[in-house]
Structure 1
Amino acid sequence: MAAIVEASRRRDWHEKHGAQVVAVISNKAEAPGLAWAKAQGLTTFALDHKTFASREAFDASMMAQIDSFEPALVVLAGFMRILTPGFVDHFAGRLINIHPSLLPAFAGLNTHQRAIDAGCKFAGCTVHRVTSELDHGDILDQAVVPVLRGDTAESLAERVLTQEHRIFPGTVERLVAA
């Protein structure tokens, strides 16, 4: 999220594309990204999913918050909850995410350890459109990272994260410029 905000300012998306990051929403009030975003002057919201009677009720509340900004694009950056089909359908074509693997390989969690355990020579990350099927949807960009001898899930994750910070802002910019 911070990499996207910083890129939007550094590359002046507002002037070039009429686009800007205006809000950050999390389901965790203590998320470090919320404090960072607030310090950057962005509007922030914390919606605790545990206070809602259902996943659908939480997603409906989050949808209303997002809709109040009339976004051209909704970017999931560090948001680790499975969204309901109603939420995904509502933002169809405008909802993107990044996943720390070379999709379609290793959808879901523990991607780095799974790549190491499978003997992969390469890992990476994928920016994709969000669909109701977990970690599927059109692939918008990918970055490849070698799996090195002696890698741990943590060391591989660090190298993949560097690439996430590179390709995610670039993909967002391409989409808002289109």
Structure 2
Amino acid sequence: MKKTILLLALVVATGSLFAQKKTTTSATVSFDATTPADALPKADNNTVIAALDPKTGDIQFEATVQNFAFTNPTIQSHFNGEKWLNSEKYPKFTFKGKLSKADFKKDGTYPVTVTGNLTVKETTKEITTPATVTVKAGVITATAAFPLTLADYGIVTDGKKIAKEPKITVTAEFK
């Protein structure tokens, strides 16, 4: 009897472990605002916090603005400055959304749609974009790339040296 209860307790505990959110502190968000006139406005942030609930498809990201690394210090200064992201006043941006259905238990590559709210500088806009989810040996990798209209978030550029709609690429590996 004791063995049966112990076995049942282990099965229940194991089931609840697999239903939990998966998280990472090393997701990547890439910002590419290059134009024909300037190839330098590119940056990566490799310290993005992300969470995925495989049961519901809920997904979240949080990125610290100052962790975007540009090769050009002048662009880095502008990016964090008051006219752009004003990282002193608005230190992070967030995304909260949902992935369309994917089989997170079976190895494979799944085209999905991500819909959610992106908040930058206290401005929240809904975005919907295609994404890819890959499951391999229990590791889930999610990748999405989409254009972001800077003016929607109060960031104005002339479009010559800095693209008005940079490409944003988000990649996260959940173990």
Does the alignment reach a TM-score above 0.5?
A: no
More helix, by proportion: 1
* TM-score, scaled to structure 2: 0.32
More strand, by proportion: 2
- Larger relative contact order (Cα-Cα within 8 Å, sequence gap ≥ 6): 2
